[in-house]
Copies of this chain bind each other. A is one copy, B any other.
Amino acid sequence: MRASQFFISTQKEAPADADIVSQKLMLRAGFIRKVAAGVYSWMPMGLRSLKKVENIVREEMNRAGAIEMVMPVVQPAGLWQETDRFDSMGAELLRFKDRHDRDFVIQPTSEEVVTDIARAELRSYRALPKNFYQIQTKFRDERRPRFGVMRGREFTMKDAYSFDRSAEDAGKSYDNMFAAYCRIFDRLGLTYRAVAADTGAIGGDRSHEFQVIAETGEDAIVYCPTSDYAANIELAEAVAPAGERPAAAANLVKVHTPKVKTIAELVDFLKVDITATVKAIVVEGEKGEAVLMLLRGDHELNEVKAEKIAGIKKPLTFAAPAVIKDAFGANPGSLGPVGFNGRVIADRTVAKMADFVIGANEDDQHYTGANFGRDCAEPEVADLRNVVVGDVSPCGNGVLDIQRGIEVGHVFYLGTKYSKAMNATFLDEDGKPKHFEMGCYGIGVSRILGAAIEQNYDDKGMIWPDAIAPFSVVICPVGYDRSEGVKAAADQLYADLQGKGVDVIIDDRGERPGAMFADWELIGAPHRITIGDRGLKEGKVEYQHRRDAESTPVAPDAVLAHVLAQLAR
């Protein structure tokens, strides 16, 4: 490509409403342009990277045996009513009426349409397994769109759906997709982790998120540096501390704690270590009754775990002040198990504590030296909390660390959730109809670009992996319009690189060197060759990787090989 025939539009400043680095850089570098909140045009520069991501995803999906198709953006409500999602989904599902007053939605995903296809087209077990995918425009009417293409409303998603005869076969389809996703993210050149995720009502252990590692990520990823273990924070198990609970050594003492409402205030007031304190959280049971959950003072409740406990109201509901007052005789800030007759669930860590500090169920009163079994009954024990750095890994082979990540892919075993709701069956070998075992597999194609930038940027701009850079190589001739020698050398290298199939752009716009370099540093082309008169006289051109602090002189007749070697790394 010649820059003069392309469209390059960079800006010094990002719009004031840009939230995060990737959004600012994509706007400044002319990758995207805002059309409405959460709705963007893909400008020519950005579209090149988007298409490269799409192509890698497509190639690996095809390699994995998935079959591409395209389902409509506009989908009739009827199908969505079969699964109840038309009514049960929130306002993220954009609903509208057509000119004949019929209800439609704009697809956020396509489970209903693909399941409708399967029940019509996959009539026999001989047609299975099948995996259909599309790379297509999706819409989610986010309440508060932000972060550019990372949490936009209109976006490009690859969604795949597998259909199998049995849960066992569905497991193979799942593993196949898992492996394909690893190949995809490897090829994209991104640092990522596949982390186990919650399966919700479906159950089982077949849900993984693919997370691009970035300090700015919204998600906490738990992993064990000395093993393969990785899970998102919702799922990561907090194992019980080793050893037995110490014996009670202190007496139960009621302490007046005026105006102490929080754990921080309690620690400050009593001058105790936070790890000696226990906090009380009251949620509703299935009958609306108060259930007391106990966590160590420095730990956080994991709502996904808490909600899964039998007898707890779903979705998890914190008890109202009146319910609490009625059950405990005190207000939040001074609650505890001593004297409470309801259900008490202690986190595994709490269950191993002795002589702890806890609310006394009287306002402005706490106990020190509290002990289970002596001062109150032994509680139920459950994993209630988010893990923290340094926790023992549930794999048993190390301690946990936590990174931030951006979710860009998800593989999920659906079981028969949709096939039963839509009565989608095939005839099995025994001649009997059977519901499809399904899986769904998403990749946020446009989101990947945001994530790639969050992972790879500096104060000058983006730094693209070769595979998804808008251009892998840029040739920056200094004085292209003035020096015949520069023009000849630059044109020759351009032709040579094109001949080798390299995605190269030559900046023939005649910009000043400073502006030209700033543009390409902002755009983040990974490999740059600068060709100028002075260098040519000295028998050299300059190669610089976007991550290099300085350029490397290379002889003009060696530069082609040099660039190809860099690209092959």
Binding site for B on A (CB under 8 A): 5-7, 9, 30, 33, 35-36, 39-44, 47, 50, 65, 67-76, 79, 91, 94, 96-99, 102, 104, 106, 113, 116-117, 120-121, 130, 132, 136-137, 139, 141, 143, 153-154
Contact = CB atoms under 8 A, between A and B. Distances in A.
Contact of A153 (B74, B141, B143): B74
24 contacts: A7-B69, A35-B71, A35-B79, A35-B113, A36-B72, A36-B102, A39-B76, A40-B72, A41-B71, A41-B113, A41-B117, A42-B69, A42-B71, A43-B69, A44-B67, A44-B132, A47-B70, A72-B154, A73-B139, A74-B153, A96-B97, A98-B141, A98-B153, A137-B137
B9 A121 contact: yes
* Nearest 7 Cβ contacts at the A-B interface: A96-B96, A36-B76, A42-B70, A91-B99, A44-B67, A39-B72, A41-B71
A154 B79 CA distance: 17
Contacts of A141: 98-99
Contacts of A91: 99
Contacts of A41: 69-72, 113, 117
Given A6-B67, A94-B98, A130-B7, A154 B35 contact: no
Contacts of A7: 67, 69, 121, 130, 132
A141 B102 CA distance: 12
Contact of A74 (B98, B139, B143): B139
A9 B121 CA distance: 7
Contact of A94 (B47, B96, B143): B96
A74 B117 contact: no
Nearest to A155: B72
A30 B65 CA distance: 19
A436 B311 CA distance: 68
A44 B65 contact: no
Contacts of A33: 117, 120-121
A106 B107 CA distance: 13
Contacts of A69: 7, 41-44, 47
A46 to B, nearest CB: 8
B42 A73 contact: no
Given A36-B74, A41-B117, A73-B73, 10 more contacts: A7-B130, A33-B121, A36-B72, A36-B102, A39-B72, A39-B74, A47-B69, A91-B99, A99-B141, A99-B143
A182 to B, nearest CB: 21
Most buried by B among A33, A65, A130, A132: A33
Most buried by B among A43, A65, A69, A143: A69
Most buried by B among A7, A121, A141, A153: A7
A75 B44 contact: no
Contact of A154 (B73, B94, B132): B73
Contacts of A6: 67
Contacts of A47: 68-70
Nearest to A136: B137
A130 to B, nearest CB: 7
Nearest to A51: B68
Contacts of A71: 35, 41-42
Contacts of A153: 74, 98
Contacts of A117: 33, 41, 43
A65 B44 CA distance: 12
Given A33-B117, A65-B5, A113-B35, A73 B137 contact: yes
Contacts of A74: 36, 39, 106, 139, 153-154
Contacts of A97: 96
A111 to B, nearest CB: 13
A39 B132 CA distance: 19
Nearest to A509: B126
Contacts of A113: 35, 41
A251 B36 CA distance: 73
A141 B117 CA distance: 24
Most buried by B among A65, A98, A106: A98
B73 A36 contact: no
Nearest to A126: B509
